[in-house]
Amino acid sequence: MKHTSSRQVFEYWNERRGFRVAPERGDIEPGPIRRALGDTFILAQDAEGVFRFRLSGTRICALFCGELKGTDFIDLWAEAEKPSMLELVAAVADECAGFIAGASAHNADGATLELEMLLLPLKHRDPLQTRLLGVLAPAEPPYWLGVTPVKDLTCGTVRHLGADSGHIAAPRLVPGTETGRIRRGLIVYEGGRSL
């Protein structure tokens, strides 16, 4: 994750879920992620299966030069991108596994904008109340932000965040640990295959 807002929201989401697959919607409070709120949004799936903006931050609204509440999230994407983006968003809702992706968009003047998008599941006691927490943030805010809307988002590289993301400690590769011994610059751990 490159963007500060993505990292802050993911760390908070990860902390709030503990060892659950995802936190509940009621577990998310705006205060701890206040610096990222302008880049943050919440999607709700309606009865027809459409993922609509329930909330959208001010910087996201400035990107599109208008309020997004109630609009279809998939409509922000270029025609060719819509089916695959719908699959990605539905997978977050169905499988409770988020993703981080690069995205790009352009405005009417032809200026291109690179974005980072994070999408994470939120649990709800009512299974018909699907909610997703997301971030959509420009790598560098353009000077024309809020003046010229972006359109036709395209998705770049996608990295899935499984249910165990953030709970696996990085392996410690430090010589002389209690479980290994140094042998000519290598650490030899006891166990494994024996003849």
Tell me, yes or no, whether 13 lies in a domain.
yes
Note if the pTM is more than 0.95: no
What is the average pLDDT across 117-137? 87
Q: In which domain, by residue range, is 78 found?
A: 4-164
Tell me, yes or no, whether 102 lies in a domain.
yes
Q: What is the CATH number of the domain that holds 106?
A: 3.30.450.20
**Helix and strand totals (H; E) in the chain:** 3, 8
Tell me, yes or no, whether 179 lies in a domain.
no
Q: Residue 172 — pLDDT band, cuts 50, 70, 90?
A: very low
Q: Total structural domains in the chain? A: 1
> 83-110: per-residue pLDDT in tens?
999 999 999 998 888 999 999 999 988 8
Tell me, yes or no, whether 89 lies in a domain.
yes
Tell me, yes or no, whether 14 lies in a domain.
yes
Tell me, yes or no, whether 185 lies in a domain.
no
Tell me, yes or no, whether 62 lies in a domain.
yes
Tell me, yes or no, whether 139 lies in a domain.
yes
Residues 161 and 120: beta-carbon distance below 8 Å: yes
Q: Residue 176 — pLDDT band, cuts 50, 70, 90?
A: very low
175 three-state secondary structure: coil
